[in-house]
Structure 1
Amino acid sequence: LLDIGFALSDAVNDGLLAEAAWTDPVSVIVPARHPLLAHAQVRLEDALKYPLVLCHPDAGSGCHDQIQAVLEGAPVPPKVADRVSSLGVMLTLVGAGYGIGFAIGSQVQTLQRPDIAIRPLAGATPPTLTTYLLRRQGEPSEPMKRLIGRVMSMTTRADEDPPPSAVGR
């Protein structure tokens, strides 16, 4: 058993707790040569003019539910090209030109892929994805308390002084 974990879903089994740990802005993931790269930030309605590669609802990543909530408020219905089981598959299909995707930009940047580019979603309050801290119910051990406290304090500081959005390549 794991003592602690992180996930994009707060759906947990009996005996586990989920606490919102931090949020990240949603970014648009596009092929390296794509018309949306003309914009520093991409409006949702502009992104929805293109086919989408989205997380599969059965993948269990939590990404599907959060992105679906963003798309439900969209002015036009999305055109879904494919649904995938992982971020890696999504990035491969986006890089190959099958469509565009939505993800946490900072997570995608760490993969340093030359076949894709990242743009933040435009808007006064762009949509965010929440990452949850998962742990067993009951009193956590002292090391876990310190880790939980550290994560929550970092989140509080980040909320008070948000870093500038990374635009990507």
Structure 2
Amino acid sequence: SCSSQSSGESGKRADYISWEEYFMSVAFLSAQRSKDPATQVGCCIVNKQRKIVGVGYNGMPIGCSDDQLPWQRQTPGDPLGSKYLFVCHAEMNAIMNKNSADVRDCTLYVALFPCNECAKIIVQSGITEVVYLSDKYCGTVQNEAAKRIFRMADVKFRQFTPSRRSIVIDFDQLPEETEAALALTLR
């Protein structure tokens, strides 16, 4: 039978991260895959059972070379010289990369408040909540359109407030048992 010990009695760690911190951290870690030199955005989609069902980051479409398409905001004299014509946003990629039948009733964690184009995709996919960290484009036409779409479709959105400034991944801090197992694997 299960005992009902408090964390003080059980001896478990008290400094573990919350579910929200975990999911937002996965979004931030995913952003590290982006090749965009100016803006790296990651996204993590989570179902009601707290299972990750999709991740994505902003990048070029599958099959399109990162080296042959522009990463700059605009190139004077070249109407096709803007990344905005080609880059797939993190939200779109996370929805397209989903590992379940659908993302209905899921929560989307994203570093940057979604644009109006992503808002349409989010609504169409059935996602019911958006948790974002930054709203740096607040007040722009695209941002206001996204918020209007979410309100009309009854998609909740709220800003994530972290309880800590950083979560560090330090591969040098592996427990001794893990280090020993890793050493055996690498031989």
TM-score normalised over the length of structure 1: 0.29
- Which has the bigger relative contact order, CA under 8 A and spacing at least 6? 1
The structure with more strand, counted as a fraction of residues: 1
Please give the TM-score of this superposition, normalised by the length of structure 2.
0.27
Point out the structure with max Rg over C-alpha.
2
